[in-house]
């Protein structure tokens, strides 16, 4: 009788152990080979692939901030010019600048210093006069034809005290030829149209009654 009870207890414990193992297996689950492995915390992190889809190229924030700051500065000076001179209008100014560009280019090519003088500041007038004189002494003549205007846009605005300076970027198609005393071509090509980009700076004392702007500087953009 005692042996039967002992045998029954063994079977009962075996069944209970099997039941507990089965429950634990269901709770903990099986390894599938895809579990996240816990790496050595002191080992270096794995390098990311350059082609990883998780790598996002960020914009050049510093460059964008510099560009935005420059735009804000130009806008600020433009507004200051408008406040000091309510008659200033960008569209009308650009129309006048374009006309001045055509007149000055034509007058310089012809060597017409009297035509240039009302349009230029004193320092630039001296430089233009020197160039015309050197050309005449060499017996050369210049022909410049503006075949078309591509654009005329305000590039920069500066206001220092009452002196306003507005720089305009002109992009034009031109035919330029310099001829010697015998009419031969010394420079340029009469059959070739070239696209020319110029930066011209016009100046005016907005506190003065004289409404005219004068060209005070010319240059080409830096490449």
Q: Which domains does the chain have, with CATH numbers?
A: 64-219 (3.10.450.240)
Distances (CA, A) of 183 to 108, 131, 133: 19, 19, 18
In degrees rounded to 5, what are phi and psi of residue 46?
A: -65, 145
Distances (CA, A) of 99 to 27, 40, 47: 87, 75, 62
Q: Which residues of the chain have pLDDT under 70?
A: 1-74, 223
Query: DSSP string covering 113-176, please?
Result: HHHHGGGB-HHHHHHHHHHHHHHHHTT-EEEEEEEEEEEEEEEEEEEETTEEEEEEEEEEEEEE
3-class secondary-structure state, position 222: coil
Nearest C-alpha neighbor of 154 from the set 111, 214, 94: 94
| pTM metric for this prediction | 0.67
Q: What is the pLDDT of residue 62?
A: 54
- CB-based contacts of 166: which residues, under 8 Å, 6+ apart? 81, 93, 97, 154, 156, 157, 158, 201, 202, 213
3-class secondary-structure state, position 24: helix
Q: What is the pLDDT of residue 154?
A: 96
């Amino acid at each position: 009788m005692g042996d039967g009870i002992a045998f029954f207890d063994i079977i009962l414990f075996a069944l209970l152990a099997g039941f507990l193992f089965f429950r634990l297996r269901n709770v903990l689950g099986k390894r599938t080979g895809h579990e996240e492995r816990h790496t050595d915390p002191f080992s270096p992190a794995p390098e990311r692939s350059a082609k990883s889809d998780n790598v996002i190229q960020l914009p050049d924030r510093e460059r964008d901030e510099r560009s935005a700051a420059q735009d804000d500065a130009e806008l600020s000076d433009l507004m200051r010019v408008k406040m000091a001179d309510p008659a200033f209008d960008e569209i009308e100014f650009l129309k006048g600048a374009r006309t001045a560009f055509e007149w000055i280019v034509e007058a310089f090519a012809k060597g017409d210093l009297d035509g240039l003088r009302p349009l230029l500041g004193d320092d630039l007038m001296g430089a233009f006069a020197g160039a015309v004189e050197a050309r005449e002494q060499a017996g050369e003549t210049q022909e410049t034809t503006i075949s078309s205007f591509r654009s005329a846009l305000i590039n920069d605005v500066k206001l220092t005290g009452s002196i306003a300076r507005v720089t305009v970027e002109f992009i034009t198609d031109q035919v330029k030829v310099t001829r010697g005393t015998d009419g031969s071509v010394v420079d340029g090509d009469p059959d070739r149209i070239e696209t020319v980009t110029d930066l011209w700076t016009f100046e005016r004392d907005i506190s003065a009654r004289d409404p005219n702007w004068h060209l005070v500087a010319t240059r080409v953009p830096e490449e």
